[in-house]
């Protein structure tokens, strides 16, 4: 197991355990937990607490179509299990491999400029998830955030004005975050990112390109 220095906050972990997060955020949490013993232990505690609470709740009347709705969700495309640990080889942990259909070599990248590439994995009304490939040494345009952005490092590392993030680390950015993430020299940086609102770029060129790349 790798050394994860930046763990997911408790509120997001509890939100996942309660099924209250958007699917795109679920994917990031699932992947992070598969890389972190500490996060997985906390998650198991929250799930146990949730199970205990359910045992104390009284019965409720069900809608006439509840069974059909539940079966429809079961036979749909559920998010992958988050508790599977990372494989001994490969870049992607099990939850992400299930979503992508393989490892890094199966990703269909699309260029977005400056050598940066992305692959959109999920787009919903609440949030979107994508893989982002940043060449070693490349800086992303300075930006802030209209909502919440979850960034999980899968390969390499990046640093901004505040901190450094390597494999397994997760950064939670919000409206107060204003930064210029820069991939460190060495290995190219690959991240799994979920956002619930578009970014706010400082420069005019990124703002012009934004509708076309969807970030």
Q: What is the pLDDT of residue 88?
A: 52
Task: State the total domains in the chain.
Answer: 1
Instruction: Tell me what percent of the residues of the chain surpass a pLDDT of 90.
Output: 66
Domain membership of residue 164 as a residue range = 1-215
User: Is pLDDT at 61 greater than 80 in this prediction?
Assistant: no
How confident is the model over 112-146, as pLDDT tens digits? 988 999 999 998 889 999 999 999 999 999 999 99
pLDDT grade, residue 83 (50/70/90)? very low
User: Is pLDDT at 202 greater than 60 in this prediction?
Assistant: yes
Q: What is the pLDDT of residue 74?
A: 65
In angstroms, the CA 30 to CA 72 distance is 23
Cross-strand partners of 110:
118
Average pLDDT in the 18-28 region?
A: 95
User: Is pLDDT at 80 greater than 80 in this prediction?
Assistant: no
More confident residue, 61 or 92: 92
CATH code of the domain covering residue 48? 2.60.120.10
CB atoms under 10 Å from CB of 148, counted, come to 18
Contact present, 131 and 101 (Cβ < 8 Å) = no
Sheet containing 189-195: order of strands:
110-113, 116-123, 128-134, 189-195, 149-155, 170-173
- Picking from 95, 77, 117, 115, the residue whose alpha carbon sits closest to that of residue 34 is 95
Average pLDDT in the 37-54 region?
A: 82
């Amino acid at each position: 197991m790798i050394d994860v220095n930046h763990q997911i906050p408790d509120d997001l972990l509890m939100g996942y355990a309660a099924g209250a997060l958007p699917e795109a955020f679920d994917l990031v949490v699932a992947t992070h937990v598969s890389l972190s013993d500490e996060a997985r232990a906390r998650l198991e505690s929250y799930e146990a607490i949730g199970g205990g609470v359910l045992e104390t709740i009284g019965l409720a009347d069900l809608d006439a179509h509840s069974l059909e709705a539940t079966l429809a969700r079961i036979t749909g495309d559920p998010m992958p299990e988050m508790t599977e640990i990372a494989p001994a080889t490969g870049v992607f942990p099990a939850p992400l491999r299930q979503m992508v259909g393989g490892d890094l070599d199966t990703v269909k990248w699309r260029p977005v400029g400056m050598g940066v590439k992305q692959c959109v994995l999920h787009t919903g009304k609440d949030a979107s998830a994508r893989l982002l490939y940043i060449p070693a040494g490349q800086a992303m345009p300075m930006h802030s955030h209209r909502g919440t952005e979850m960034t999980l490092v899968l390969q390499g590392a990046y640093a901004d004005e505040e901190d450094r993030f390597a494999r397994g680390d997760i950064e939670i950015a919000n409206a107060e975050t204003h930064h210029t993430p820069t991939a460190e020299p060495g290995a190219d940086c690959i991240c799994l990112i979920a956002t619930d609102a578009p970014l706010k770029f400082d420069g005019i060129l990124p703002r012009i390109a934004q509708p076309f790349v969807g970030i």
